Amino acid sequence: MNLVIFVKWLEHFAASVPSRVTPSLLLTYDRCARHYSMIIVEKAIEIQIIQLLLPPNSTQILQPLDVSLFKTFKTSLRRSMERFMIDEDVSSLTKKQAISLASSTWQNGMLPKPDNVISGFTNIGLWTISAPMMRARREWYADGGVKDVSVPSTPVWLTVRQELRMEVLFLPRPPTKSIGKRKKVDMLDRIMTQEQLQQFG
């Protein structure tokens, strides 16, 4: 979604709200750069939408549709696509087929289950607003999503990479045969020992 599409979506969103709802609307969304600019802020003020941006790096914790809906939708869509490809004996989908499958998956699998959407908002504490639930979800990721404290400070792939670099890449080439100390030298078709060479040196 780009800036132009998002502004059009804001206009569509404001126009689709029933007239019985008070004029000010609250829109909660992430801090994606395409969703937040001076043009968008001015448009939101013009059509009386209050913007609430989620904290950075919290979309997987606080976005209700990510929590309750999209994973289920993606899983159902993947199954529908696999079933279609097997039934039709094709290895890829056209855009038209993909859109048709996504539409039917959404209408048959997601729309009949509005409770999933409601539970998403409830579970993350956005509706009814619950600061303790929001904090609890945020604490799940306070340590960066790493639960086990016994994780080594240096990732395994870096350790392996360093071992490869030091022990494999920098090793000298192994000798093809053992090289012994030379004891004799051939000089003018005459074989000489080391002692004889030193006499001439």
For 122-157, the DSSP string reads HHTTBTTB-HHHHHHHHHHTTTTT---TTS-SS-HH
Residue 73 shares a structural domain with residue 135:
yes
Residue 187 falls within a domain, yes or no?
Answer: no
Residue 127 shares a structural domain with residue 91:
yes
Residue 120 falls within a domain, yes or no?
Answer: yes
Which pLDDT does position 143 carry in this prediction? Answer: 65
Residue 71 shares a structural domain with residue 134:
yes
Residue 72 shares a structural domain with residue 115:
yes
User: Which range among 5-14, 24-33, 189-198 has the greatest average pLDDT?
Assistant: 5-14
Single residue among 18, 36, 53 that ends a domain in this structure = 53
User: Which range among 90-94, 160-164, 187-191 has the greatest average pLDDT?
Assistant: 90-94
Residue 135 shares a structural domain with residue 73:
yes
Residue 192 falls within a domain, yes or no?
Answer: no
Q: How many domains does the chain have?
A: 2
For the cut 90, the answer to whether the pLDDT of residue 139 exceeds it is: no
Residue 95 shares a structural domain with residue 126:
yes
- Identify which has the larger pLDDT, 186 or 3: 3
CA angle 164, 170, 171 (to 5 degrees): 100
Single residue among 115, 140, 165 that ends a domain in this structure = 140
Query: Which H or E element spans position 67?
Result: helix 64-68
| Section 27-46 average pLDDT | 84
SS3 label, residue 53: strand
Determine if the pTM surpasses 0.85. no
| Section 54-58 average pLDDT | 73
Which pLDDT does position 82 carry in this prediction? Answer: 94
Max Cα separation, the chain? 116
Residue 74 shares a structural domain with residue 41:
no
Yes or no: say if 34 and 4 are a contact pair by the CB < 8 Å rule.
no
Residue 72 shares a structural domain with residue 132:
yes
For residue 39, what are the domain limits?
Answer: 3-53
